[in-house]
Amino acid sequence: MKQRVFLIHGWSVDETTTYQALHLQLARHGYALEDVYLGRYVSLEDRVEICDIARAMHTALDEKLGGDWSRPFHIVTHSTGALVARHWVGRHYSGAFCLHRPLRNLVFLAGPHFGSRLAHHGRSMLAHARYFGDTGEQVLKALELGSDFSWGLAESWFDPAVWRDKGVRPYCLTGDRVKKKRLVDEFAAKLLPAGFEPGSDMVVRVPAGNLNCRRYLLQAKNGTIHPAGEIEDVPFAALADYVHSGPEAGIMNSIKRRATSKGHRALGLILDCLKVEDDAGYARMRRRLAAETRRTRVEKKRPAFAQLDFRFRDEEGHPVNDYAIRLGWLDKGVEKPSRAIRHTHKNTVAPNHFSVFVETGKLDPKKTYFLDLQADSRSELFSYGPLRVETAKKIDVLKSLVRDDQTTQIDVVLSRKAGRKLFVFHPGDDPDLHVKWDRKGEIVGTGLRVK
């Protein structure tokens, strides 16, 4: 049976040349050219959100399918296209549309499942000048590290009924390479280190490009931590040969007409992912992609990283935005910074979200690591309880939280304590009666008379 393939690009793209010769390569390997569709959508309009793009994608799909959702098809995405496709799977691919399970293989190339360090730079004045106007503000907010969107999308996909039970087989391929060959690259790295970050493809971090993740609920009041959701067993590969984009080494943009499936590693993997037809083939692909990651780590000697995404809320569910956080290790009780922590980021839209980038190979299991959080309620009438976590004698917990090439979301619930002056009872024989108090609960008058 003829199968169709739909290609979905990323943010800021305005030419189908972004796909280079991928559609021609698919035609060379058994897909009819007329059954390969090159998607295009507007991502630079500031008011457009990913939900709008996914809704439009559904309409466009239905049109190209002729309303026939029984024939099998596949989707290949690059960069932000992954978020569009995942949102579509959760919100629109349901009921009669997925009854015959037509979507078979969903290949994510450099998908920023858990954000990009570069995203908030895209909302800067310089970015507006670069793109001569709008930069896709709402899309970039969703792309920022630790965004509300990434948390919501992950929570949706924690439910296997959203994707696995529909027969969807996702794959994650991402680059793990930083190019600094020329003097101008060294200069650019000084100006914008986010674009030359080890453990990334120069746009998306490796752990952020991996859909496999875990979430934990941490109760600050008693220090307990419990699993709260996970996505697991999605085939994933960190590929040492590729960066995010570009004609020389872009994971998709470097696929040229003359490329071969053997000579272009990413192309070969894309084609093999699309060939998978059953669970056994999916398991084989999982092992193969894991071997690719081992090659990157062992042969290419690229270190592994992990990303921790914290969300701070109080026990009423309100965001806690004003806080001071310290991370490091203890040397005979003295707090010291850790070389394993490479970068931290407080989300600019939702400041109660805080991301930490960790080089896992620099974590020493013999050391005691700590996280100390002091939150400010900005009120004298109530406060937040402190959070102090140490890993001493809890190395299994550390290994569960900090996992090579993965993101872990940690949902922190802080206790909320009422101040003593917020509510007070006065006995009837209080000699100061009657009293008057101000907005801080301070008594500002006594001996007030009544008729």
Same domain as 328, residue 255: no
47 lies in the same domain as 116: yes
Q: Provide, rounded to the nearest whole percent, the portion of the chain with pLDDT above 70.
A: 94
CATH code for position 171: 3.40.50.1820
Confidence (pLDDT) at 121? 81
**Res. 231: pLDDT tops 90:** yes
Mean pLDDT over 283-305 rounds to: 98
CA proximity to 176, closest of 208, 192, 143, 198? 198
pLDDT of residue 415: 96
Res 124 pLDDT > 60: no
Do both 241 and 376 map to the same domain?
no
Token couple for 338: 């850790």
pLDDT band for position 348 (cuts 50, 70, 90): very high
Assess if residue 222 is contained within a domain: no
Query: Can you give the three-state secondary structure of 227-261, one letter per residue?
Result: EEEEECCCCEEEECCCECCCCCCECCCCCCCCCCC
- Is residue 407 situated within a structural domain? yes
CB 349 within 8 A of CB 147: yes
Is position 202 within any domain?
Answer: yes
Residues 56 and 31 in one domain: yes
* pLDDT classification of 398: cutoffs 50, 70, 90: confident
Domain match, 37 and 146 both = yes
Q: How confident is the model at residue 184 (pLDDT cuts 50, 70, 90)?
A: low
Query: Which of 298, 319, 341 finishes a domain?
Result: 298
Mark whether 290 and 309 lie in a shared domain: no
Q: Is residue 25 part of a domain?
A: yes
Count of domains observed in the chain: 2
Average pLDDT of span 103-128: 85
Q: What is the pLDDT of residue 405?
A: 98
* Higher-confidence position of 243 and 190: 243
Q: Which helix (H) or strand (E) covers residue 382, if one does? A: strand 382-384
Domain final position from 274, 298, 322:
298
CA distance to 32, 73, 81, 170, 413, per residue, from 27 (Å): 5, 14, 22, 22, 52
pLDDT at 125: 46
Return the CATH number at 376.
2.60.40
Residues 277, 316, single domain; the answer is no
Please report, as a single letter, which amino acid is at residue 300.
K
431 occurs within a structural domain: no
Same domain, 88 and 156: yes
Calculate the alpha carbon distances from 329 to 345, 346, 371 in Å.
19, 21, 9
Same domain, 311 and 290: no
- Residues 21-54: tens digit of each pLDDT: 999 999 999 999 999 999 999 999 999 999 999 9
- The verdict on residue 430 lying in a domain is no
Return the structure tokens found at 287.
């092992």
Q: Residue 310 pLDDT > 80, yes or no?
A: yes
Q: Is the pLDDT of residue 378 over 50?
A: yes
* Alpha helix segments (H runs only) across 166-214: 183-191
Band of pLDDT at residue 318, cut at 50, 70 and 90 = very high
**If pLDDT is split at 50, 70 and 90, which confidence band does 330 have?**
very high
Q: How far apart are CA 241 and CA 179, in angstroms?
A: 10
pLDDT attached to residue 129:
47
CA dihedral 282, 286, 292, 298 (to 10 degrees): -160
The residue written with tokens 């030419």 in the block is 15
Q: Is the pLDDT reported for residue 181 higher than 50?
A: yes
Domain span at 380: 305-417
Check whether residue 274 and residue 313 sit in a common domain: no
248 and 365 belong to one structural domain = no
Alpha-carbon radius of gyration of the chain: 26
Average pLDDT, the chain: 94
Question: Residue type at 193?
Answer: P
pTM for the predicted model, two decimal places: 0.94
Domain boundary, last residue among 253, 280, 298: 298
With 0-12 / 13-18 / 19 or more C-beta atoms within 10 angstroms meaning exposed / middle / buried, residue 155 is middle
Per the domain annotation, does 434 fall within a domain?
no
Q: Report whether pLDDT(110) > 90.
A: yes
423 phi/psi in degrees, rounded to 5 = -145, 125
Q: Which helix (H) or strand (E) holds 307?
A: strand 305-314
Query: Both 67 and 11 in a single domain?
Result: yes
> Cβ(382)–Cβ(419) under 8 Å?
yes
Mean pLDDT score, 182-205: 81
Domain assignment present for residue 426? The answer is: no
